[in-house]
């Protein structure tokens, strides 16, 4: 069982181990969550928070070079003939799958096989391409994507990856153009020499997706292994911790620890599928317990004040972990309490709550909405560490995922019913709806939302069998 040891230390009340030099850093050095698009110029200071009001139950929808590389681990043998082709049977699920697939039809670049991170923006990170690949896999499995078209576009993507320009680091740059597959910065400006560094969190998600692809489609296994063998995977872990890189002076890079509780373990287990072991990230996350609305939760002790990065406690890594790799008993108490505390907030305030990291349709264009972050509950924080309480939102992908993973929970059913129609007629699902009714729908369209919806529907159709199997 690949997830057996996570949170062992915390659940047994043993002391956490984290060397101070790993996480006592200056601000903006450690990376807490996945990389995301943030345009320039910087936005102005956020407005003062406004009081939240309950959501309407029926939203109106407007259509609108390197050390030696580790050996590549072979994929597990998937027994043949024991799984029938998954199929959706409920009309609401069929409609949802068709709506989510619209995003891919609109944003899949035929010349590269890459999918835009956000609607009509020819730019991507590897976290987003991991989402894209799993969304495409789900669509093929659910019968939305004909086999011949799937093969044609997979061949295009694999050709792109086989010739992908790499920086001197030997690892993919943080961002690329989806039109040309050339290196870009996180603000979508050119980065011809690949000076943006690498994100281990992003690459771990993409490697997980590649693993699922090579496992379910063995005809691509050799090509995928050859692609990954080009990459300097040894750099992704350092001293047992997840290791990324940010730009430094003189065109050099500064290697930094990445990840906070949830994201860190999700990425570490993804890397383990490729024989890359971040032992300390798995066995010794520095955690403590907090109470939010009377619910006990584990949080990362590395917060903005003592480490330079926010300790987001949000749904995304736990939901993806469940859908893609499956939870073990060790992590289930944390997961169950995450859902419970959001239901408690709804009961207390009347505000339907499903937190997440998500893109926005207005500045700052991306927020981490967390159950708890930097000593405070219900924080909505930008990548530049500013708070935007007035932009809290219900996340469409979180609602779909919670229902898929916990269909018998009445609150997850309430979430799913609310977001069922939060979609554009022709462009896919919106990221969500703002908690402040006056702001309405968060009409941003992105690959992570629509891919997670397809993943959750495939998980349901496979009778709660994680995608990795």
Residue among 124, 159, 165, 201 nearest 451 (CA): 124
The answer to the question of residue 14 being in a domain is: yes
Q: What share of the chain is helix, strand, coil (3-state, %, to 5)?
A: 40, 15, 45
If one counts every other C-beta atom within 10 angstroms of the C-beta of residue 327, the result is 18
**pLDDT class of 33 with cuts at 50, 70, 90:** confident
Residue 162 lies in a domain: yes
Q: Could you give the number of structural domains in the chain?
A: 1
Answer yes or no: is 264 within a domain.
yes
Q: Which CATH number does the domain housing residue 378 bear? A: 1.50.10.140
pLDDT digits (tens, 9 = 90+) for 292-351: 999 999 999 999 999 988 999 999 999 999 999 999 888 999 999 999 999 999 999 999
Selected residue with higher pLDDT from 310 and 26: 310
Is 49 domain-assigned? no
Q: How far apart are CA 76 and CA 18, in angstroms?
A: 33
Q: What is the mean pLDDT of the chain?
A: 87
Distance CA 367, CA 363 (A): 10
Evaluate whether residue 43 is within a structural domain: no
Query: Which two three-digit tokens encode residue 114?
Result: 């890459």
Domain-located, residue 153: yes
Using the predicted structure, report yes or no on whether residue 185 has a pLDDT greater than 80. yes
Residue 50 lies in a domain: no
Beta-carbon contacts of 190 under 8 Å, excluding residues fewer than 6 positions away, are 182, 183, 184
Q: Which residue has the higher pLDDT, 285 or 23?
A: 285
The residues near 315 (Cβ < 8 Å, ≥ 6 apart) are 338, 354, 355, 356, 395, 398, 401, 402
**CA-to-CA dists, residue 325 to 18, 112, 451, angstroms:** 26, 28, 16
Q: State mean pLDDT over 361-386.
A: 95
Residue 38's pLDDT band (boundaries 50, 70, 90)?
low
Establish if 42 belongs to a structural domain: no
Domain carrying residue 153: 8-32+65-74+86-461
* Lowest-confidence region among 78-87, 94-103, 204-213: 78-87
Q: Maximum Cα–Cα distance for the chain, whole Å?
A: 58
């Amino acid at each position: 069982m690949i997830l057996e040891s996570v949170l062992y230390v915390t659940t047994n009340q043993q002391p956490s181990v984290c060397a101070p030099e790993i996480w006592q850093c200056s601000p903006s050095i450690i990376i807490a969550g996945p990389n995301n698009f943030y345009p320039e110029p910087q936005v102005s200071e956020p407005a003062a928070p406004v009081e939240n009001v309950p959501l309407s139950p029926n939203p109106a929808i407007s259509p609108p070079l390197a050390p030696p590389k580790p050996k590549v681990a072979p994929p597990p043998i998937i027994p043949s003939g024991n799984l029938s082709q998954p199929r959706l049977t409920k009309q609401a699920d069929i409609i949802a799958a068709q709506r989510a697939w619209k995003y891919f039809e609109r944003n899949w670049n035929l010349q590269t096989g890459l999918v835009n991170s956000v609607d009509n923006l020819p730019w991507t990170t590897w976290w987003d391409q991991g989402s894209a690949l799993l969304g495409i896999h789900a669509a093929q499995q659910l019968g939305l994507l004909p086999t011949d078209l799937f093969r044609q576009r997979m061949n295009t993507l694999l050709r792109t990856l086989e010739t992908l320009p790499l920086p001197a680091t030997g690892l993919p740059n943080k961002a690329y153009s989806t039109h040309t597959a050339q290196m870009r910065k996180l603000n979508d400006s050119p980065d011809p020499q690949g000076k943006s560094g690498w994100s281990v969190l992003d690459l771990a998600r993409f490697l997980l997706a590649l693993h699922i692809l090579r496992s379910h489609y063995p005809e691509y296994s050799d090509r995928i292994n050859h692609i990954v063998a080009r990459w300097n995977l040894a750099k992704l872990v350092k001293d047992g911790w997840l290791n990324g890189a940010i730009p430094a002076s003189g065109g050099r890079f500064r290697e930094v620890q990445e990840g906070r509780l949830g994201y860190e373990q999700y990425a570490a287990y993804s890397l383990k599928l490729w024989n890359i072991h971040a032992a300390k990230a798995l066995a010794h996350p520095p955690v403590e317990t907090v109470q939010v609305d009377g619910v006990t939760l584990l949080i990362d002790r590395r917060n903005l004040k003592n480490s330079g990065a926010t300790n987001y406690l949000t749904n995304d890594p736990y939901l993806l972990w469940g859908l893609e790799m499956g939870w073990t008993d060790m992590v289930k108490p944390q997961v169950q309490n995450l859902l419970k505390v959001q239901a408690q907030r709804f009961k207390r305030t009347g505000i339907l709550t499903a937190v997440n990291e998500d893109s926005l349709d207005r500045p700052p264009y991306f927020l981490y909405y967390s159950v708890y972050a930097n000593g405070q509950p219900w924080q909505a924080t930008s990548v530049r560490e500013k708070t935007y309480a007035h932009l809290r939102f219900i996340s469409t992908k979180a609602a779909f995922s919670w229902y898929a993973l916990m269909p018998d929970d009445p609150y997850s059913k309430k979430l799913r019913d609310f977001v069922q129609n939060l979609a554009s007629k022709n462009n896919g699902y919106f990221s969500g709806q703002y908690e402040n009714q006056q702001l309405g729908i968060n009409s941003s369209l992105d690959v992570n939302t629509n891919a997670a919806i397809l993943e959750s529907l495939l998980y349901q159709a496979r009778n709660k069998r994680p995608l990795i199997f």
